[in-house]
Amino acid sequence: MRKRCFMWLAAFAIAVPSVSLHAGVRLYDLEGFVTACLASSSKLTRPVCECTAKKAAKALSPMGFQFLTATLRKDKEESLKLRGKLESAELSTAGEFMSTGPAECAEELKRSR
């Protein structure tokens, strides 16, 4: 029983980034984040955006992640809708994430070369 429970938890942890809420909305749409990240700045590379997406998925709630993605896409309607649903601490964390996330990833990628 314990082994089965552990295996279920492990499978769930692996599947979380691609789990759908409803109507096809993904909790953590990593590729959507990467696309928005690349479009938001000509200085950000795909590897930096991919790393940043993974960090954001770990650091933010699903709604905070969606808010950040909408903000990067410059989707004002979606950003405002999500802003109204987020607690102030969550909103602050999501809003500040891009000031540190990409720089951390760029440094990590630089060290790994």
Residue 26, pLDDT > 70, answer no
pTM for this predicted structure: 0.75
* pLDDT score recorded for residue 10: 36
Q: Is residue 4 part of a domain?
A: no
Q: Is residue 8 part of a domain?
A: no
Q: Is residue 51 part of a domain?
A: yes
- As a whole number, the mean pLDDT across the chain is 83
* pLDDT score recorded for residue 5: 37
Q: Is residue 60 part of a domain?
A: yes
Q: Is residue 2 part of a domain?
A: no
Regarding predicted confidence, which is higher, 83 or 21? 83
* pLDDT score recorded for residue 95: 86
pLDDT tens digits for 85-103? 999 999 999 989 999 999 9
Q: Is residue 18 part of a domain?
A: no
The count of structural domains within the chain is: 1
* 90 neighbors 61 (Cβ within 8 angstroms): yes
Contacts for 40 with CB less than 8 Å, ≥ 6 apart: 72, 73, 74
Q: Is residue 9 part of a domain?
A: no
| Cα distances (angstroms) measured from residue 105 to each of 49, 55, 81, 109 | 8, 9, 29, 6
Q: Is residue 80 part of a domain?
A: yes
| Cα distances (angstroms) measured from residue 100 to each of 25, 56, 84, 94, 107 | 27, 11, 24, 11, 11
Contacts for 55 with CB less than 8 Å, ≥ 6 apart: 97, 101, 104, 105
